[in-house]
Amino acid sequence: KNEVEQSPQNLTAQEGEFITINCSYSVGISALHWLQQHPGGGIVSLFMLSSGKKKHGRLIATINIQEKHSSLHITASHPRDSAVYICAAPEGGGADGLTFGKGTHLIIQP
Partner 1 sequence: DAGVIQSPRHEVTEMGQEVTLRCKPISGHDYLFWYRQTMMRGLELLIYFNNNVPIDDSGMPEDRFSAKMPNASFSTLKIQPSEPRDSAVYFCASSLGAILPFFGQGTRLTVV
User: Which residues are at the interface with partner 1 (CB under 8 A)?
Assistant: 31, 33, 35, 41-45, 48, 86, 88, 90-91, 95-103
Nearer to partner 1, 33 or 77 (CB): 33
To partner 1, the closest distance from the beta carbon of 54 in angstroms equals 11
Nearer to partner 1, 9 or 109 (CB): 9
Pick from 23, 103, 104: nearest CA to 61: 23
Cβ neighbors of 32 (< 8 A, separation 6 or more) are 23, 25, 48, 49, 50, 63, 70, 87, 88, 89
To partner 1, the closest distance from the beta carbon of 14 in angstroms equals 27
Nearer to partner 1, 1 or 110 (CB): 1
* Distance of alpha carbon 18 from alpha carbon 39, whole angstroms: 21
To partner 1, the closest distance from the beta carbon of 8 in angstroms equals 15
Nearer to partner 1, 44 or 107 (CB): 44
Integer Rg of the chain from CA:
13
Q: Are 71 and 21 in contact (CB under 8 A)?
A: yes
To partner 1, the closest distance from the beta carbon of 29 in angstroms equals 12
